[in-house]
Amino acid sequence: ATNLIGECKWLLDDIIPLANMDSKSKATVHAVRAAVFTEYGGSPHIFKRACSSAKRACDLDPNTSQWFYIYSLALTTQRQFLQSHKSTPTDNEKNAVQKAIMLSDGNNTIFNYHRMTLDRDTAIRYYHDNKNNHDKFWIEKNRQANETIVKMIKTIISMEPKDPHLVVKCARTIMTLPIMVRDFNLGKQYLTKAYEMAPNDATVLKAIEKTIEVYKDISKKQRPRTTETKNNHLALKNRTPKLGSDLGFIVKKQKNGEDPIPYLTDLISKYNGLDKSKIIAQLCSYLILFTNNLRSGVEEFIKLIEIP
């Protein structure tokens, strides 16, 4: 009991009242409070306090970049909570993170990524607000905005980010931008880079898998239905029954307790084009759903996206 009293006394003696702290220490306390409120807040009142605390930290210590980043995050979180994720980012959000970027000499990948997401969300909102506007000026402005986003992503990756999840997010963005600037090959390079950074991290592999699924879903929705495409479908029509028969045979093997992977693997070399893609899709889906082998499944997904 004596030791406990002594330790408590030491702790109380060591605590410095906020009013007696120097400006930098006060700023740290306010920034930590803002970060906690931003992460765990669930009401307008809490998010308002997050923004207020973050702003106070910036005012007390205007030379620390992290405080401005936290302030920008707090503002973004508050806006999305009060409005929606589809709302337009404010100038205050952009100015705060831009200040953080400037104070860090532009060398912080997280700051740059947040700025890029704000610009991307602005471009998306601007597009939806003007999608029925066929004015050439608007179309050019939209194209330039998306080209800027691509440049920002390239800059972020050139800085060699340490977080593979951030690399995957960059890949997802660049693979889902409007068709005029979308860069599938570059996105594929980024996914491969993220995979090489963390080949055994299940969360990274799942993120890669999800990115590929989203890309393919968007590509299908936006693919033009041209006469040439219809003719290609007719040309493939005669091969589809054969593929269906082969896949049906493999399904029967699986139901009888046999491993379908060797059969699917052997089947890949016998087909080309769309039919080959279907087989690889079946293979990677089986690996992920039935064997819990995310790594092998993602490797097959990467092969799949390499097929034109």
Tell me the pLDDT tens digit for each residue of 33-50.
Answer: 999 999 998 899 999 999
- Percent pLDDT > 70 in the chain is 78
Pick the CATH number of 13-130 from 3.10.20.740, 3.30.930.10, 1.25.40.10, 1.20.120.420: 1.25.40.10
In this predicted structure, what is the pLDDT of residue 238? Answer: 46
In this predicted structure, what is the pLDDT of residue 236? Answer: 45
Give the span between the Cα atoms of 255 and 40, in whole angstroms.
Answer: 48
pLDDT-derived band at 118, boundaries 50, 70, 90: very high
Which of 190, 274, 192, 191 has the alpha carbon at shortest distance from 232?
274
Q: Is 234 buried (19+), middle (13-18) or exposed (0-12) by CB count in 10 A? A: exposed
* C-beta separation of 89 from 122 below 8 A: yes
pLDDT-derived band at 243, boundaries 50, 70, 90: confident
Ramachandran sector of residue 176 (left: φ over 0; alpha: ψ -120 to 50; beta: rest): alpha
In this predicted structure, what is the pLDDT of residue 53? Answer: 96
pLDDT-derived band at 284, boundaries 50, 70, 90: low
Secondary structure (3-state) at 104: coil
Q: Is the confidence at residue 129, as pLDDT, over 60?
A: yes
Give the span between the Cα atoms of 277 and 268, in whole angstroms.
Answer: 9
Q: For the residues 149-154, what does the mean pLDDT come to?
A: 96
Q: For the residues 2-17, what does the mean pLDDT come to?
A: 57
In this predicted structure, what is the pLDDT of residue 222? Answer: 61
Q: Is the confidence at residue 139, as pLDDT, over 70?
A: yes
Highest averaged pLDDT of the listed ranges 6-20, 118-132, 206-220, 251-265: 118-132
Which residues lie below 8 Å from residue 55, measured CB to CB, with a gap of 6+? 71
Give the span between the Cα atoms of 164 and 74, in whole angstroms.
Answer: 24
Give the span between the Cα atoms of 66 and 62, in whole angstroms.
Answer: 10
Q: Of 3-12, 23-32, 71-80, which gets the smallest average pLDDT?
A: 3-12
In Å, how far are 14, 54, 62, 164, 194 from 91, measured between CA atoms?
Answer: 41, 16, 18, 29, 32
Secondary structure (3-state) at 131: coil
Which residues lie below 8 Å from residue 257, measured CB to CB, with a gap of 6+? none
Q: Is the confidence at residue 10, as pLDDT, over 90?
A: no
Highest averaged pLDDT of the listed ranges 114-128, 131-145, 292-306: 114-128
Tell me the pLDDT tens digit for each residue of 67-104.
Answer: 999 999 999 999 999 998 889 999 999 999 999 999 99
Instruction: Compute the mean pLDDT over every residue in the chain, rounded to the nearest whole number.
Output: 83
Give the span between the Cα atoms of 249 and 277, in whole angstroms.
Answer: 18
Q: Of 187-191, 218-222, 226-230, 254-258, which gets the smallest average pLDDT?
A: 226-230
Which of 110, 84, 87, 86 has the alpha carbon at shortest distance from 97?
110
Secondary structure (3-state) at 208: helix
Q: Is the confidence at residue 6, as pLDDT, over 50?
A: yes
Q: Of 57-71, 114-128, 253-267, which gets the smallest average pLDDT?
A: 253-267
In this predicted structure, what is the pLDDT of residue 5? Answer: 61
pLDDT-derived band at 206, boundaries 50, 70, 90: confident
Name which residue leads in pLDDT, 296 or 196. Answer: 196
Domain spans of the chain, in order of start: 13-130, 154-224, 240-306
